Structure 1
Amino acid sequence: MADAVTVEELVKSNPTLKVVEGDKFLKKHKIAISDISRPGLELTGYFDFYPKERIQLLGRTEISYAAHLDHDLRLKVFTKMATDQTPCFVVSRDLPIPDELIQAAEAAKIPVLHSSMATTHLSSVLTQYLDEQLAPRKSIHGVLVEIYGMGVLIVGNSGVGKSETALDLVKRGHRLIADDRVDVYQKDEKTIVGEAPKILKHLMEIRGIGIIDIMNLFGAGSVKDSTEIQLITRLENWDPKSNYDRLGFNEQTQEIFGVKVPQVTLPVKVGRNLAIIIEVAAMNFRAKKMGYDASQKFEQNLTELISDNSRKEEKD
């Protein structure tokens, strides 16, 4: 988790943001909260609950109201809004920026940004970016692959064959997101996203070969920067004493930041094609999400068979 995002990083994240004032202060000002402030009440002079630590976003309503204030009152209000904790001012829709706002921001050394985007859309985009950057993060030892558009995290003990299996999946047309270390964060209350650390992006380690560049070997279509983690496959060395699920009735999950992610455990044994098995596991999971469960179909068939046998026995 980043403690804060600089205004410079915010500007780089959105091509529509242009710096009007305070270019040399972009690195100095930091944003530590993802909430955006629309300072409507503040323009009327009400500052009892002014969220000064947030981005101050002014749209058509705020700019129109400010235009009805006289020069001295506008300057007074904007000066009060420009505190030492205010990261920046943003004006949307390419609206004209009041001279008093630029004057107050210049005096307080606060950046003023301009955007052509609609206010509501801009607020949503900025909030999403800040949520992702400020979200709690942790690293998981494993490999993340996107299979048929679904993020599958492959985990297991070192040397069990995670990278080799992922390489086979890439050869079958799927996409690598991260190998060895997966950085994960919570996008919202139900969504966990995984990505590769910058130093390992598009790279994979294969024992006996070393580091390989997946994008260079297999093309741009073989990699992706990030994806939602929708299924976890845990690889375990085959143990004859273990009781592995054979019918699919036992639903496993693993919690990541409090979000329960479905998990399947696959025993690793000589002769098993793990890439195909994981591929099928992903397709089976998707079928379940769409309402079709093969285990329930089996249970239904079994119930019908028992019922038919019972009726035959009654007739006999």
Structure 2
Amino acid sequence: MTTHSTRMLVLGSGPAGLSAAIYGARAGMQPIVVQGIQPGGQLTTTTDVENYPGFREVIQGPWLMEEMQAQAEHVGARMMWDTIISVDLSTRPFRLIGDGGDVYEGETLVIATGAQAKWLGLPSEEAMKGKGVSACATCDGFFYRGKKVAVIGGGNTAVEEALYLTNHSPDVTLIHRRDSLRAERILQERLFAHPDITVLWNKEVREFVDGGGTAGLVALDLEDTRSGEHSRIDVEGGFVAIGHHPATELFRGHLALDDDHYIQVEPGTARTSVPGVFACGDVADKVYRQAITAAGTGCMAALDAERFLQAVEFEEMKEAAE
């Protein structure tokens, strides 16, 4: 068992965590990044990335994260491969314990553990991810220009995704397993008023149909939740929009969370309910959930952490001089 100490401890290594590490390292805070279960975050499971600024051609998600990590290490961040199983935020330095017993201490803590999209859990869904099946219309909708697509879900996320997809597709179908939506009324009004959106009620997806070869997704097999009747709808893109799980289990009881278990931050900052603890990326953002917004809030978290330490150290210096 080893104790690793730093002025800035970063938990999570997606765009938010690595951006925080880059800024923290450049500020001389010698950050340690604990990478967690999925080093590189969700972008490592993404193939084509076309909306990250600075690249005129399509790039690969895993490559982008490799470059971000290399940049963070180049400016002085240290990478640790561990899974945190417990935290103590009651005093500074904050203490995190890895599953092997190693202790990580930080004068400040940046939480960038992200959020995972909820999936239907079908074998065909897993097989078709990146081949016509997605959980992010904003990320992937551009690839379905002029094609027929479907959105699965009935909450705000599903309705927002369906509306967004009309920017690219002239034929969007929303599939919901009930006979009414859970989305906010204003969103429902926009959905029902849109001429390019069709709603299928009381339907569940039984299978994502692979066209074979390079065809990718070609259809969805559906089952009526009331009659049990089977049907098929031809689509080239299927967007699962049934919500996200923020990775905040470790912090329940330690930090203020909202009703959906996202970490609450002070508006316009990365500051959480515990002074010296900051949150960035999808773990605190249930609205945008983009790599570029995650990276931006990672920058904010590092700057907030640096300013926090400057204020603390100034007060300590004043007390010592008295």
Structure having the higher Rg: 1
Per the normalisation by structure 2, the TM-score is 0.25
Could you say which structure has the higher helix fraction? 1
Q: Which structure ranks higher in relative contact order (CA pairs < 8 Å, sequence separation ≥ 6)?
A: 2
After TM superposition, the score normalised by the length of structure 1 is 0.25
